[in-house]
Amino acid sequence: MPRTLLGLMVGLLLTTLTASAQETPPNIVILLADDLGINDLSCYGRKDQPTPNLDQLAATGARFTHAYAAASVCSASRAALLTGQNPARLKITTFLPGRPDRASHRVLGGALNDHLPDGVQTLAQMLKSKGYATGAVGKWHLGLQGHLPTNHGFDEYFPGKANPGAESPLGGKGELGQANHAVDFIARHHDKPFFLYLAFDNPHIPLAAPAQSIAANAQAFHPTYAALVESLDVACGRVLQALETHGLSKNTLVIFASDNGGVHVSELKESPPTYNAPSRAGKGYLYEGGLRVPLIVRFPEKIPACEINDPVVLGDLCPTLCAWAKIPAPTPLDFQDISPLLTGSKTAADAKPRAFYWHQPHYMNQGGKPAAAIREGDWKLIEQYEDGSLELYNLAQDPGETNDLAASDPARVAAMRGKLEAWRRSVGAEPVKANPNFSRALWENCFVAIDTSKLKALPTSEAMRPMLVSWHQAMQNAVKDGPNPLIFLEARDAQVKATKLRYEDPPQKDTLGFWVNADDTASWNFKAPLAGKYRVTVLQGCGKDNGGSLVAIEAGASKCEFTVQETGHFQRFVPREIGQIELVAGDNTLTVRPLKKAKAAVMDLRRIILERLDQSGPLRSAFLQPKSFQAINLLALIPYPETE
């Protein structure tokens, strides 16, 4: 054979082999911690919890500084990661099965699916279509029998033991046993593409670690927690070493993350496991401490070692991994492929600020209340579902969310709330409802006597235990029937007698507006479960230089009056308690009637909240007053039921 022809054939063969190698889809390994906070790894600045294996992963990959969970609790966050759909669309918006409704809750949580919906494609199912072997190890928390990983595209599932015992060779939270099974999975599937989803139970409460490890971490904020994080690092190191052993590191995309923020309060018998400062609050909250998570992505020779400051959300991993595996992204898709960020190919055209959305219509065991949030650029808006109040923060200037700018930037508040409402409608987000069995006294014990969103860490976790005892006891009060029925009268449900006044449906409005005629009225027909006096709160907006109108709230012969206050923008709504009104048991009609129009328009009105006054008097115990938190330790008296 002529040498030239032979050379051409060899060259063609090499080109074909090279192309084939390039087309080999990458192995994918997701290492997911459970409740690990944004500050809990030494590569994220923690000084008392060394994590050498994960530090090395970060040094050779992309470390994100503004990565968000898709929810502040596990089931919802995991559902988004595996499907590319927002928890609000999936109707998995809290941990499963969720915190039960109780009298201390002002509102009832939105409807909740008890498992990942059938027919929703998971990342495992999509990768199987490409020939991947798929394995799930560890925590699932997205459904029980009939809805396990093997029902959603995983070839095999090994849950391991979440609480095998402090001295167990499996690790205090089963992390070493789970890692060992993951290593075995890699060994069995090293000769074909695989997807390994290793979801640790570490460092979720209850905390347990070997006595020797706890002693070695005696100087840490929480020695047992630090020992668990150390063991988590060892477990991750075993998996990374298995990739090296089988020569798979170069063609394996490794992701390390946590499902939500760290727990900053007492749960079960634990003192606070960690702290998230400067981020506010922790797991269960839509403040930064509940949503910000560590995220490290390594793919040698494809992703340069770097720090990425752009905001992303864990739901982005699904379409991103689909792109790397060269398979179509799922539909519907609520997140986006962040490959340009990872490879450094992001251009100026990609620089437009991206909006991120959260919908949490539930109370959380850590003190979080029903709320929604939107982040756009450096700005973050939080809408509290209990009363419709709105908070605005500039995260670049105020990462701890301590300075609420809503009053000083009402136009931004109105615009961002409009986008949030438009998004909620687009995904079919479940609304909350007023609790007809509400107890103000029990609510105050949980959410007024101490606001755990503002809890500051002390030098040690144990030092914080006394200040949280009474709060924890209040949170565990499972009474379901309260004496104060709560009623929401929504703008959309009003009967309007008017020439101009009407309900404005667009999401940026969502209000009774065009109230320019003083003779126009709005009424609601509704049933009150109990007769008595009800406190009246209006969710009212009014533009600059338009306040001062006098308005009456009437129900039968009962009436209260209030003067409209400016809020800076007609769609910046502020809850205002304006008086009391008498209702009868059963059918009632409430009418809002302007008595005097001061300026161009009376106001905009989104909601009226009616809360029956407690006829039995206050129930708050003396030890639940804020001034006594430091002095009382009732820990031995508190029952600690299991929690998520």
Q: By C-alpha distance, which of 448, 445, 464 is closest to 456?
A: 464
The residue type found at 243 is: L
Cβ atoms 472, 365 nearer than 8 A:
no
| Exposed/middle/buried for residue 7 (C-beta within 10 Å: 0-12, 13-18, 19+) | exposed
**74, 236, 318, 446: the active-site residue:** 74
Give me the residues paired with residue 486 across strands: 611
- Which residues face 586 on adjacent strands? 528
Which 3 state secondary structure label does DSSP give 177?
helix
Residue for token pair 């320019």:
516
Q: Which helix (H) or strand (E) holds 231?
A: helix 223-245
Q: Reply yes or no on whether 74 is catalytic.
A: yes
**Residue 603: closest CA among 512, 494, 489:** 512
The answer to whether 516 touches 502, Cβ cutoff 8 Å, is no
Reduced to 3 states (helix: H, G, I; strand: E, B; else coil), residue 588 is strand
Which tokens is 5 given? Answer: 């022809």
Q: How many CB atoms lie within 10 A of CB 331?
A: 8
Q: Is 141 annotated as catalytic?
A: yes
Structure tokens at 424: 């909620």
Which residue carries 């150390």 as its tokens? 230
Active-site choice (66, 105, 115, 141): 141
List the one residue out of 437, 338, 522 whose CA is nearest residue 107.
Answer: 437
DSSP string covering 526-572, please?
EEESS-EEEEEEEEEEEBTT----EEEEEETTEEEEEE----BEEEE
Beta strands in 271-403 (DSSP E): 292-298, 306-308, 312-313, 355-360, 371-376, 379-384, 390-394
DSSP strand pairing (532-542 vs 604-612): antiparallel
Contact yes or no for 481/103 (Cβ under 8 A): yes
Q: Tell me the C-alpha distance between 380 and 390, whole Å.
A: 10
Which residues participate in catalysis according to the annotation? Answer: 74, 141
